[in-house]
Amino acid sequence: MNRKTLPADLKRRILVEAGHRCAIPTCRFPTTEVAHIIPYSKVKKHEYHNLIALCPNCHTRFDNGEIDEKSMRIYKNKLVFLSDRYSPYELNVLQYLRKQNKVIIYGSLSVKNIMDDNLVKNAHTITQFNYNDGTNELQEFVVVLTDIGQEFMRKWIDPLNTDLTYDN
């Protein structure tokens, strides 16, 4: 079976997210290794949310089962929250979408990152201004969670909410 190469851009993004250090906060040993949280043999693809920077020692401990998958998700989730990937506004939008199936957004730039990562999509426009010169401007639109977004919430946000808080 062919294993696809991890794209250089994605690998860089994972390493930058963790500052080129092990993602386990008490370790933080310098590294350039990236691990799949759910094994590649199961998912057969390289996805941002399933990849984490680990030092060789922690990588081995994870492979041995000494550190389990759920712990690794918690470490990854902390990185997602700690890195400036998603703004507090975007995280709030995601939190709202756990309980409501849609949220009204003012301006698409405010949710650019969660849209770029396909966690949410524009369901429909509420208001659109049409100008005399033929241009128009999107003022409000409704976002909903995508399948990827639902998976993200189920795997990354919900397990953590039952176990930990982020206030530290």
What does the binding site for Zn ion look like in residue numbers (CB under 5 A)? Answer: 22, 24, 27, 29, 55, 58
Smallest separation, CB 59 to Zn ion (Å): 8
**46 or 59: CB nearest Zn ion:** 59
Find the shortest distance in angstroms from Cβ 61 to Zn ion. Answer: 8
Q: Which is nearer to Zn ion, 27 or 157 (CB)?
A: 27
- Of 29 and 89, the one with the shorter C-beta distance to Zn ion is 29
CB 21 → Zn ion: shortest distance, Å?
A: 8
DSSP line for the chain: -PPPPPPHHHHHHHHHHTTTB-SSTTT--B---EEESS-HHHH-S--GGGEEE--HHHHHHHHTTSS-HHHHHHHHHHHHHHSTTS-HHHHHHHHHHHHSS-EEEE-GGGGHHHHHTTSEEEEEEEEEEE-TTS-EEEEEEEEEE-HHHHHHIIIIIHHHHHH--S--
Instruction: Give Cβ neighbours of residue 83 (< 8 Å, ≥ 6 apart).
Output: 17
In this complex, which beta carbon is closest to Zn ion, that of residue 55 or of residue 119? 55
Least CB distance to Zn ion at residue 29 (A) = 5
Nearest approach, Cβ of residue 60 and Zn ion (Å)? 10
Q: Which of 24/94 has CB closer to Zn ion?
A: 24
